[in-house]
Structure 1
C-alpha cells in the first residue's frame, strides 16, 4: 500500500509540541515553551490543552509546569515491547555487560540515525551522551558504522544522504568518501570502533546484529573511556561481542522480527 504524504494538520502540530516537551527533559512552564515554539501563543495553548485532554501531558497546578503524561509512558513501553530488539536482547546484553564489566549499548537505525533502545552499565558507569531512547548520529558512532557497513548499497546510500558530517571532535569523519572507506574495512573485519568520534574520551567496539539472511536489524557495542581502555584493549572483547550479536540475531529471527523502513 502506498501512503500519500500530506500536511499533518493539528495532529502534526500537537506532536511537535509533545516532542518539544520531551526534549527539554524536565517539567517546563508555558512561558519557556513559548520562547522556543514555532507556534503563536494561542495556538500553543490550544495544542497543550489537547495533549492534556488526551493524557499525553500532565500539568502541575502548583508549579505551573507541563511534563509527559502516564498515557504516553504506557504507549512508549508498548512500542518498546512490540517494535524494538530490546525485549529479545535483554538476557544477552545483561550477560555480556556482566562478563566484560563495561557499558553495553543496543541500537537500531531509525531514519538514518542511531536509536539507542537499551543500555547496561557496569558497577561504575561512565558519563556519556547515549541513553536508551536517545538518538545519535550514525556516521561517527561505532554502533552506527557497524550497522551501516552491512546494509545493501541502495539502503546505505539513503542512510548516508541523511548524515550531517558535523565535526564533533578532531577524530570525527567528515566526508562520505572517508566514511565509505571505513565501512569497507568494517565489513571485512566484522567490527567497528568509535575512536572518540562523537565524544572526547569515549571509545567503543561494535558489531551489527544480523538475521540469518544477513539483514541488519540492530547493532551492539561495548563502550568505555580512554581513561580505562585503549582501542587495542577493547578489541579483546571481540569474540564475546560477536557471539552475543549472533545470539540476538538468531533469537530475533525466531520472533520473526518485522521488516522496518529506513526512510
Structure 2
C-alpha cells in the first residue's frame, strides 16, 4: 500500500487503486486487481465503482475488464500544459537536438522518481529505456542526480530514503552514502553524469533547471553511448546546454510568476 493511501483515507485509497489499474498497462480483470491489492474484495469493488462513476476508470462488460478512463486523458492534457515544463521548454529542447545531434531528455521529479516529460531522439537514434511519460529511478539517472543535488537538504534526504538502490550495472551507486558523495560532487562540478549507471553503454550529462530563488523545477540531459562519446567529450557541450537550461528556467519563471518578474524589473 502506498504512503498516499495510508495517509489520505478514501481519496488516497482510490488513487492507489487508480495507480494499480494504470500499472498493468492493459485492461485488467477484477480478479487480477484483487490478487495484487491490499484491500478486501468489498472495499476494492467499492473503490472501482466510484472511480468508474467519476470517469477515472472505464469498465468493459464484454471483457469484464477495467482500464483508465477518458476523463484522465482530459486531466492529463491540462496537467501537461499547466504543470509540465515540456510546452515551455520545447523551443530550447528542439534547438539542442538540432545543434548537438544527441538525445535530449527533459524531466521533473515525481515524488521520489524521475518523470520524463519530453524527449528528442538523436540524429542516429539509440535504443534506451527512457520515453516521455515514463518514470525512472532518481539515484542512477543523470537528470535524477542533477535535480537531487540542488534540492534543500531535508527534501533531498526524504527522496534518498525512498530509493531502492538496485544495482542495474557494475557502476550503479547502491548505497545512500555513495549517492550523497556523488551529489556533493555534482554541485562542485556544476552538473551530473550518468556513467552507465542505469543501462550499459548509455552515458549522459545533466543539469538542473532552477528558478531565480534556486528552487529545482526540473532537469535536462544530453544522452549518448560509449561508442560515440565519453564523459569527457560530453563536457565540451556544457556551454551550449547551460545556455539552453538558463533560457528554459527564465521562460518557465516568466510564465508561472509574471507579476513577481514585473515587480523585480
**TM interval, short-chain normalised:** 0.7 to 0.9
The answer to whether the Cα contact below 8 Å between 2:6 and 2:13 also exists between their aligned partners in 1 is no
Helix, strand or coil: the match of 1:213? coil
Measure the CA separation in 1 of the matches of 2:257 and 2:210.
11
Q: Where does residue 160 of structure 2 map in the other structure?
A: 160
Cα offset for 1:185?
Answer: 2.2
Q: Where does residue 101 of structure 2 map in the other structure?
A: 101
Asked whether 1:110 is paired with 2:110, we answer yes
Q: Where does residue 80 of structure 2 map in the other structure?
A: 80
Cα offset for 1:22?
Answer: 0.8
Cα offset for 1:149?
Answer: 2.0
Helix, strand or coil: the match of 2:219? strand
What whole-Å deviation, never above 9, does each CA across 1:11-41 have from its counterpart, x for those lacking one? 2222111101111112222232222122233
Measure the CA separation in 1 of the matches of 2:14 and 2:212.
40
Cα offset for 1:253?
Answer: 1.7
Q: Where does residue 23 of structure 1 map in the other structure?
A: 23
Change (3 A) 1:215 1:69: same
Cα offset for 1:101?
Answer: 2.0
Q: Where does residue 44 of structure 1 map in the other structure?
A: 44
Asked whether 1:11 is paired with 2:11, we answer yes
Helix, strand or coil: the match of 1:244? helix
Change (3 A) 1:6 1:161: closer
What whole-Å deviation, never above 9, does each CA across 1:176-210 have from its counterpart, x for those lacking one? 33222222222222221101112222211101111
Helix, strand or coil: the match of 1:105? strand
Q: Where does residue 222 of structure 1 map in the other structure?
A: 222
Matches within 5 A, 1:123-138: 124-138=124-138
Q: Where does residue 143 of structure 1 map in the other structure?
A: 143
Cα offset for 1:81?
Answer: 1.6
TM-score (norm 1): 0.86
Cα offset for 1:83?
Answer: 1.8
Helix, strand or coil: the match of 1:217? strand
Q: What number of residue pairs does the alignment pair up? A: 254
Gaps of 5+ in 1: 259-263
Cα offset for 1:123?
Answer: 5.1
Gaps of 5+ in 2: 259-265
Helix, strand or coil: the match of 1:255? helix
The answer to whether the Cα contact below 8 Å between 2:6 and 2:12 also exists between their aligned partners in 1 is no
Cα offset for 1:129?
Answer: 2.4
What whole-Å deviation, never above 9, does each CA across 1:110-147 have from its counterpart, x for those lacking one? 32332222222235543322222332222211111112
Q: Superposition RMSD on alpha carbons, in Å?
A: 2.3
Q: Where does residue 205 of structure 1 map in the other structure?
A: 205
Greater relative contact order: 1 or 2 (C-alpha under 8 angstroms, separation 6 or more)?
1
Q: Which moved more, 1:106-115 or 1:5-14?
A: 5-14
Higher helix share: 2
Q: Where does residue 193 of structure 2 map in the other structure?
A: 193
Measure the CA separation in 1 of the matches of 2:102 and 2:257.
27
Change (3 A) 1:217 1:26: same
Helix, strand or coil: the match of 2:114? strand
Measure the CA separation in 2 of the matches of 1:53 and 1:243.
48
The answer to whether the Cα contact below 8 Å between 2:173 and 2:197 also exists between their aligned partners in 1 is yes
